[in-house]
């Protein structure tokens, strides 16, 4: 049986927004003598409370998809690989959010980011749409595992903006790919080699837009209490303006 993962997680409305349209979840689905673990963050967008609905629906679809998957395995049935499950679940979440958006005039145009990490048997399976992020801390270095689906990121890749200009550009929050805004979505997928000592970090842009990766690394090195680290980093983002909802999940592999 694998040693249990050490997890810290939290979300804060911030200091400007009236509602928290972020959702995050930490799941552990029993699977024989081990478990299939799943971590996710979603940053909803849309008028009124529509963004909150979009991000919540995305989490509900993930929950249902993985729950059914582990039930099938525990019943001895054949299933697709975990990486395929992540892909299918994200695409299904997109269809569900899109359907809700098109059926209700007040929710038209709503959507959400979604970044999720499934872990099983020393392998990690990452799925990503939008500008939430996943990071890996390995050794003394922090690596960004995801690429923002945003207008400024595209301009940086084309050499039309510098990294510094992108940080402060008026369109820095304009995302080019999200769940629910179109009938189909193509998520970014990756399979990872999970090693003892790795720390995985999932965040919405209310966190990483105000707290640098190196600061996240420094706090994770300063304390082994992952919940304390999460609370400290949420507070740091609020101290710097808290202009958006702030969500963070930290997963430590013993």
Query: For the chain, what is the domain count?
Result: 1
User: Mean pLDDT, to the nearest integer, of 156-179?
Assistant: 73
Q: Is residue 90 part of a domain?
A: yes
pTM of the model: 0.93
Burial class (CB in 10 A: 0-12, 13-18, 19+), 17: middle
The dihedral through the CA atoms of 134, 143, 212, 200 has a sign that is positive
Output the CA angle 87-122-35, nearest 5 degrees: 75
> CA quadruple 212, 218, 221, 227: dihedral positive or negative?
negative
Domain assignment of residue 1, yes or no: no
Q: Residue 151 domain-assigned?
A: yes
Domain that holds residue 64: 6-252
Residue 56 CB burial class (10 angstroms; 0-12, 13-18, ≥19)? middle
**Does the pLDDT of residue 2 top 60, yes or no?**
no
Is residue 175 domain-resident?
A: yes
Weakest mean pLDDT among 21-25, 69-73, 105-109, 237-241 = 105-109
Q: Which of 202, 197, 207 is nearest to 250 (CA)?
A: 202
Residue 1 has pLDDT above 60, yes or no: no
**Percent of the chain predicted with pLDDT > 70:** 92
User: What's the confidence (pLDDT) of residue 175?
Assistant: 83
Q: How confident is residue 86, by pLDDT bands cut at 50, 70 and 90? A: very high
CATH number at residue 127: 3.60.40.10
pLDDT at residue 29 is higher than 80: yes
Q: Is residue 173 part of a domain?
A: yes
- pLDDT tens-digit readout, 196-234: 999 999 999 999 999 999 999 999 999 999 999 999 999
CA distance 111 to 179: 5
């Amino acid at each position: 049986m694998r040693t249990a993962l050490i997890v810290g997680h939290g979300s804060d409305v911030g200091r400007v927004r009236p509602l928290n349209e972020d959702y995050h979840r930490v799941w552990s689905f029993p699977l024989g003598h081990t478990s299939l673990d799943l971590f996710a963050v979603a940053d909803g967008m849309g008028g009124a409370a529509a963004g909150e609905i979009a991000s919540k629906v995305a989490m509900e679809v993930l929950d249902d998809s993985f729950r059914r998957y582990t039930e099938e395995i525990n019943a001895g049935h054949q299933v697709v690989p975990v990486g395929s499950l992540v892909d299918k679940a994200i695409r299904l979440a997109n269809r569900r959010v899109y359907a809700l958006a098109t059926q209700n005039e007040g929710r038209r145009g709503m959507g959400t980011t979604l970044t999720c990490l499934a872990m099983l048997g020393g392998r990690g399976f990452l799925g990503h749409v939008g500008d939430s992020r996943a990071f890996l801390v390995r050794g003394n270095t922090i690596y960004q595992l995801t690429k923002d689906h945003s207008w400024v990121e595209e301009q940086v890749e084309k050499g039309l903006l510098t990294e510094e200009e992108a940080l402060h550009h008026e369109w820095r929050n304009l995302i080019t790919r999200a769940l629910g805004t179109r009938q189909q979505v193509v998520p970014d997928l990756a399979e990872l080699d999970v090693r003892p000592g790795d720390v995985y970090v999932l965040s919405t842009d209310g966190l990483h837009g105000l707290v640098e990766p190196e600061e996240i690394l420094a706090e994770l090195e300063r304390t082994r209490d992952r919940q304390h680290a999460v609370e400290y980093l949420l507070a740091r983002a609020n101290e710097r303006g808290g202009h958006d909802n702030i969500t963070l999940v930290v997963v430590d592999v013993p």
